[in-house]
Amino acid sequence: MNHKDRKQIGLAVVGCGTIGRIRAKLARDYPGVGWIGLCDLKSDIGGALRDDVDADFFTTDFRELLNRPEVTATIIATDENFHFAPTMLAIEKGHDLFIEKPLATDARQSQQILDAINAAGVDAVVGYTNRFRRRFLTVKERLITGQIGDVHSVVTRAFMNKMVPIATVQRTQERATLTPMVVSGTHSLDMSLWLLEGKTPTSVYAQSTDKVLGEWGTKDSTFGVFTMDDGSIFSMNISWALPEVWPGAVYGIEIGIVGSEGVIDIEDTHRDLVMATNFAQGAGYAPEGYTAPARHVEFLTSYPPGDLHLDQLWGPMREETNSWYQRIYTGQATPHATAADGHRNLLTTMAMDLSAKRGEAVQLPVDADELMRELT
C-alpha cells in the first residue's frame, strides 16, 4: 500500500472490559487511528474508558456505534457468548475486524461468521496473543526453515489458575460450551497447530474430569490425543482447576516438538521469575462479586496480555494490537490468526469435548450441527 493511499482508521470497540480497555488505550496512541467509538452495556464501565481515552463517541447500543459513518474497523471484545450479533453487523458494514476468541461459542454461529467473512471479503483476525511472543515467533521461524526436519510428535501441557473459569462462567448461565478447551485450551491448541502448519488433524480421542469445577458447570481438565493427516501425533492437555493460590496469575504452558532431525522444548511456565512478598497479589481476572484468596507468591510475567510499567501495558498484547493497526493502516503481513484459524480451533476444541462425552475417538473435521446437538 502506498503511503499516500493510507486513510485514517475509524475504530469501534464493542466491549469495554479488561481487553477492550487495553486495545482502546493503545488505539489512542496509534497515529493511524483518527476516530474512536466505544460500546458497552454498562454505561459506567464504558463511560470511564471514554474519559480515559478521550473517545469521540460512546453508546450502550452496538448497532448505533457500528452504523456510524466514521467506523472503518471494529474490535469485538464482548463476553464470549455475545460475539455473534455485533460481528455479523460489522461484516455487513465491510469493516476490518479484530474478534476476540472464539468467533462464537455456538459452532453453527461460528460457521455463519466465517461464511459471511469469506462472502464479504473483509479482513478479519482472531485474538491469539501468544503468536506475538518472541519465544514462539523464533520457534515458528526455526520450523519454517526446517531446522528440526519433519515434525512427527508434539506434546502440549497447560496449567491454569481456577480464577479464570470462575470469572468466565460466573457471567452467564449458558455454560455448556464454556469448557477448559473451548475458552482457554484454545490458546495452546492454536499455538501448536500454528507451529504444525501444513498438518491437519484427522481424529481426536479425549477424556475430561470435573471433580472441582463441576459445581460451576464446567470441567476441570481435558486431555486429548490427535492423529494428523501425515501420521504424526499431537497430545493436548489442559487443567484450569489449579487452586486460586497457584502462583501463576493465569497460565503456564509446556510444548515439546520432535522432528526427524531435532527437537524443540519450550518451557513457558514463568517459573524463572518468582516473587514472594508479604503483600497480597491480585487476581489475573476478578469478576464482580468474586473475592480471590490472598496470594503471596507470584510467577511474574504469567499474565498473558503483558505487564504494566509507567501506566502502560508492555508485552504481547501491545505487539498484537499495534500490529493489527499497522496491518489495516499499511497493509503489512502479520502473524495474526485468521477467521478460518479461529473457526477451526473452535470446532477442534469442541470435538475434544465431544470425544470425552462419547468416550470414543471423533473423526475430524466434525459437523457444527452435530457438535451443538450433542454438547448442548
Answer yes or no: do 140 and 105 share one domain.
Answer: no
Cβ-proximal residues to 224 (8 Å cutoff; 6+ apart), any chain: 181, 204, 205, 206, 207, 235, 236, 237, 352, 355, 356
| Residue 366 falls inside a structural domain | no
361 in a structural domain: no
Specify whether 18 is located in the same domain as 151: no
Q: Same domain for 150 and 278?
A: yes
Q: Are residues 182 and 269 in the same domain?
A: yes
**Cβ partners under 8 Å of residue 110, min gap 6:** 102, 103, 104, 342, 343, 346, 347, 368
Name beta bridge partners: 362.
204
Residue 368 lies in a domain: no
In a shared domain, residues 199 and 221:
yes
Euclidean distance between CA atoms 52 and 50, whole angstroms: 6
Give CA–CA dist 246/256, Å, rounded. 23
Structural domain span for residue 330: 3-130+319-336
Beta-ladder partners of 45: none
In total, the chain counts a number of residues equal to 376
- Claim to verify: residue 93 and residue 138 sit in the same structural domain: no
- Between the CA of residue 274 and those of 251, 297, 303, what are the distances in Å? 14, 7, 13
Strand 151-161, strand 251-259: pairing: antiparallel
347 falls within a domain:
no
Mean pLDDT by runs of 10 across the 376 residues of the chain is: 71 95 96 97 95 97 98 95 95 98 93 98 97 96 96 94 76 62 86 93 96 88 96 94 89 95 96 95 68 87 90 94 97 96 95 95 95 90
In a domain, residue 360? The reply is: no
What CATH number should be reported for the domain holding residue 114? 3.40.50.720
Please state whether the predicted TM-score (pTM) of the whole model is above 0.85.
yes
Pairwise CA distance, residues 299 & 84, whole Å: 35
| Three-state secondary-structure class, residue 93 | coil
End-to-end CA distance of the chain: 46
> Can you point out the beta strands (E) in 262-357?
263-268, 274-281, 295-299, 307-309, 312-314, 337-338
How many angstroms from the chain centroid is the CA of residue 369? 23
Number of helical H runs and strand E runs in the chain: 11, 18
Is the domain of 100 the same as that of 137?
no
One domain for residues 19 and 126: yes
Cell numbers placing 212: 472441582
Residues 172 and 122 in one domain: no
Q: Looking at the 3D structure of the chain, how many domains does it have?
A: 2
Question: What CATH number is given to the structural domain containing 230?
Answer: 3.30.360.10
Q: In angstroms, rounded to a whole number, what is the distance separating the alpha carbons of residues 126 and 262?
A: 31
Instruction: Give the pLDDT of residue 178.
Output: 67
Residues 279 and 145 in one domain: yes
Q: Are residues 173 and 296 both part of a single domain? A: yes
Cβ-based neighbours of 15, under 8 Å, separated by 6 or more:
39, 40, 75, 76, 77, 78, 79, 100
85 & 198 share domain: no
